[in-house]
Amino acid sequence: MACRVLGWAVPPPPRLTRRFLFIFTLSLSCTYLCYSLLFCCDSLMQSRGLGEHRCLLIRNVGGKKLLQKSPYCSLEGPSPSAASPGAPALSSAPAPAPRLASTNHSGTPKLGTKRLPQAIIVGVKKGGTRAVLEFIRVHPDVRAVGTEPHFFDRNYDRGLDWYRSLMPRTLESQITMEKTPSYFVTKEAPRRIFNMSRDTKLIVVVRNPVTRAISDYTQTLSKKPDIPTFEGLSFRNRSLGLVDMSWNAIRIGMYVVHLESWLQYFPLAQIHFVSGERLITDPAGEMGRVQDFLGIKRVITDKHFYFNKTKGFPCLKKTESSILPRCLGKSKGRTHVQIDPEVIDQLRDFYRPYNIKFYETVGQDFRWE
Ligand SMILES: *[C@@H]1O[C@H](CO)[C@@H](O)[C@H](O)[C@H]1NC(C)=O
Ligand SMILES: *[C@@H]1O[C@H](CO)[C@@H](O)[C@H](O)[C@H]1NC(C)=O
Ligand SMILES: *[C@@H]1O[C@H](CO)[C@@H](O)[C@H](O)[C@H]1NC(C)=O
Ligand SMILES: *[C@@H]1O[C@H](CO)[C@@H](O)[C@H](O)[C@H]1NC(C)=O
């Protein structure tokens, strides 16, 4: 860094102690100068609404390591409208807080605090929850945990303080979010989330239960190639058309059954359903509704997406500062399983009454026929 070079360039004074003192003072001043400059620039850019440039600054400060921890760093950070100047709330993963956040000598502005999430993507597995999370965190008023905390299902014993510690730092105006798709099918989750805060906003990404089940199976198969066939696992007696409702891949898709237990704690208005299908065909429209539900400005629009035909999935457009491609969707390498069309028909019949009941309950037709 320029500061250190300066320190070394000074000719050595006669006495060791004096020399040491001199360098010490100099580096202190330099550090101060660097920080002041950084925060000055940062707040200037924010006031101009040049959020994208924040990443470049962050890179200079935190170095390579920090950048890798936060591949979506251009998408994060404080809201341009936030009052507190130059608060580089950085990492989103439950990774160690960035270096700057730990220094709080005079002159360093507040960097926000860790808060329990006000909104949670609670499900469903293979519905498109990752995409919704990555899309919504483009919003400057949203900060999210990158990994799945599994607090309300597997880690509840660790307590709310542990849970909070995983959260990114946020400013007053920002919403903290996380996603763990297994919450939706966890019996205790609604009560536990209600106990944390009855105001928690819940997002559920749903998708045709048949394609969801196949996608779920395909994922499992890629990890455990020895499992029985999809057809074998789906039925207790196929000729009788007896579907095995205890198999998770089937059970998760019985949305209305799980929804009932959420509705015992939360009013329907506090649960927002995202269509996994529309998320692909019209990501901006679907994300518009998510932003409305969260009570934040519609910042994420058409302009943020392009459709990658190879992937068959919408991707986030590259910004100046983003390095990694922000494309999600089907993994290309995944084994493609051929499912007997008759089985698909049988499952469609099986799910039909559940789907209809689900549409009625939420007051929305997802058109999974
Ligand atoms: C850092 O800031 C907090 C809150 O403003 C304060 O309580 C604490 O004493 C500060 N720590 C140091 C080392 O200045
Ligand atoms: C609800 O949360 C409080 C802490 O806020 C805790 O002491 C209590 O055990 C929780 N109750 C249930 C039923 O989870
Ligand atoms: C399925 O049901 C049919 C008719 O009741 C019966 O003959 C057959 O043995 C059953 N198959 C299995 C695998 O249980
Ligand atoms: C589309 O996705 C494919 C497969 O992941 C990738 O190789 C390609 O670079 C992407 N194209 C664009 C224009 O982003």
Mutate to test the pocket of ligand 4, among 327, 328, 334 (most ligand atoms within 8 A of CB): 327
Domain annotation covers residue 21:
no
Domain annotation covers residue 33:
no
Mean pLDDT for the stretch of residues 95-124: 71
Dist. CA 32 → ligand 4 center (Å): 44
Can you give the pLDDT at residue 308? 83
d(CA 140, CA 299): 8
d(CA 141, CA 2): 34
Domain annotation covers residue 91:
no
Greatest alpha-carbon span in the chain: 97
Residue 275 φ then ψ, to 5°:
-85, 120
Residue 91: half-sphere exposure toward Cβ, Cα within 13 Å:
23
Domain count, the chain: 1
| Closest C-alpha to ligand 2, atom 8 | 195
Residue 140 tokens read as 């400057």
Residue 243 φ then ψ, to 5°:
-80, 140
Dist. CA 309 → ligand 4 center (Å): 8
Cβ neighbours for 114, distance < 8 A, ≥ 6 positions apart: 164, 165, 167, 168, 169, 170, 176
Can you give the pLDDT at residue 313? 83
Dist. CA 120 → ligand 4 center (Å): 30
Total residues belonging to the chain: 369
Can you give the pLDDT at residue 312? 81
Residue 63 has pLDDT above 60, yes or no: no
Domain annotation covers residue 254:
yes
User: 68: pLDDT confidence band, cut at 50, 70 and 90?
Assistant: very low
Question: Nearest CA to 128 among 192, 197, 34, 208?
Answer: 208
| Closest C-alpha to ligand 2, atom 6 | 195
Residue 344 tokens read as 């698909």
User: 302: pLDDT confidence band, cut at 50, 70 and 90?
Assistant: confident
d(CA 209, CA 355): 9
Residue 199 tokens read as 């105001």
Domain annotation covers residue 22:
no
Is the beta carbon of 327 within 6 A of some atom in ligand 4? yes
Identity of residue 264: Q
Is the beta carbon of 329 within 6 A of some atom in ligand 4? no
DSSP 366: -
User: 16: pLDDT confidence band, cut at 50, 70 and 90?
Assistant: low
Can you give the pLDDT at residue 107? 52
Say which of 65, 69, 126, 311 is annotated catalytic.
Answer: 126
Residue 180 has pLDDT above 80, yes or no: yes
297 is catalytic: no
- pTM value? 0.70
Instruction: Identify the domain containing residue 354 by its residue range.
Output: 119-362
Ligand nearest to the CA of 237: 3
d(CA 300, CA 323): 19
Domain annotation covers residue 79:
no
Give me the residue label for tokens 């998510």: 290
Domain annotation covers residue 226:
yes
d(CA 228, CA 232): 6
Residue 368 has pLDDT above 80, yes or no: yes
DSSP 89-158: ----SSPPPPHHHH---TTPPP--EE---SEEEEE-TTSSHHHHHHHHTTSTTEEE-SS---TTTT-GGG
Domain annotation covers residue 152:
yes
Is the beta carbon of 191 within 6 A of some atom in ligand 4? no
Dist. CA 187 → ligand 4 center (Å): 39
pLDDT digits (tens, 9 = 90+) for 148-179: 999 999 999 999 999 999 999 999 999 999 99
| Closest C-alpha to ligand 2, atom 7 | 195
d(CA 133, CA 121): 8
Mutate to test the pocket of ligand 2, among 116, 195, 196, 197 (most ligand atoms within 8 A of CB): 195
Dist. CA 322 → ligand 4 center (Å): 15
pLDDT digits (tens, 9 = 90+) for 183-226: 999 999 999 999 999 999 999 999 999 999 999 999 999 999 99
User: 310: pLDDT confidence band, cut at 50, 70 and 90?
Assistant: confident
Residue 353 has pLDDT above 60, yes or no: yes
CATH label of the domain that carries residue 200? 3.40.50.300
- What are the beta bridge partners of residue 315? 306, 327
Can you give the pLDDT at residue 5? 43
Can you give the pLDDT at residue 317? 82
